[in-house]
Amino acid sequence: MQKVILFDINETVLDLSPLRPKFKLYLNNESHMDTWFAMLLHSSTVSLITGVKTNFKRLAHAALVTLAARLNTTLSDNELDDIVSTFANLPPHDDISPSLTMLRRAGFKLVAFSNSSLTLLDAQLTNANIIQQFDDVISVESAGTFKPSKDAYQYALQAIGVSAKDACLVATHDWDTHGALCAGLNAAFINRFNTPYNAIYKKPTIIGDTMTSIAQQIIDDRVK
């Protein structure tokens, strides 16, 4: 069985920093991007737990509207669309392309796996010029849920026809690697932001500060 590596996309593969000037422009502070993204993840978790059927774009807009209200301002429809459209035009981190090449040459199947809608995910990877480096692109959209639900990871496994023991999720979010481990997959945590791993979560054995390090550890782990 060919081993499969699933990659979280936002922040793990793609660099969100081009969004920061938009938050400076419309909300006067680049750091509001981090607050917005945290609110977005929180909303997806609430939707997951309570069974709300929605999609990434609606969640992104709702989080922006709420954030603006907390800052005593509003965002026009054009401003909302401008921020979200920038989300579709993010560059990959510098270590992504060479790391994907390493893993492909080592015989791994590479899969993009995201909470973003399939339309947005395709646009993101195409605009970043890395879609050709993935063997498959999977959105949780068709599963009607979000990561870190076990159903999301099981949906991905079924879509690519692989068992959990033959799959590894790579992510820079500890809640995502925790979710994958709880679903029976292997996982690798890339610590892009120099933050401690949540002590209450299941911890992967593969941890690194760069995707190159993660890729090499995955390759080395296979040949042990």
Q: What is the pLDDT along the chain (224 residues), one digit of tens a residue?
A: 559 999 999 999 999 999 999 999 999 999 999 999 999 989 988 988 898 888 888 999 999 999 999 999 999 999 999 999 999 999 999 999 999 999 999 999 999 999 998 999 999 999 999 999 999 999 998 888 899 999 999 999 999 999 999 999 999 999 999 999 999 999 999 999 999 999 999 999 999 999 999 999 999 987 65
Whichever domain contains 154, its CATH number is 3.40.50.1000
| 33 and 115 belong to one structural domain | no
- pLDDT at position 28: 96
Give the tens place of pLDDT for each residue, 56-89: 889 999 999 999 999 999 999 999 999 999 999 9
Mean pLDDT of the chain: 94
Tokens 């995502």 label which residue?
176
| 10 and 24 belong to one structural domain | no
For residues 74 and 26, what is the distance between their CA atoms, to the nearest angstrom? 9
| 113 and 127 belong to one structural domain | yes
Task: State the total domains in the chain.
Answer: 2
| 167 and 136 belong to one structural domain | yes
- pLDDT at position 224: 56
Contact present, 26 and 83 (Cβ < 8 Å): yes
| 185 and 130 belong to one structural domain | yes
Contact present, 93 and 14 (Cβ < 8 Å): yes
For residues 94 and 213, what is the distance between their CA atoms, to the nearest angstrom? 13
Q: Which of 61, 87, 113 is the last residue of a domain?
A: 87
- pLDDT at position 125: 98
Q: Which of 46, 61, 87 is the last residue of a domain?
A: 87
| 101 and 21 belong to one structural domain | no
- pLDDT at position 44: 86
Share of the chain above pLDDT 90, in %: 85
- pLDDT at position 2: 59
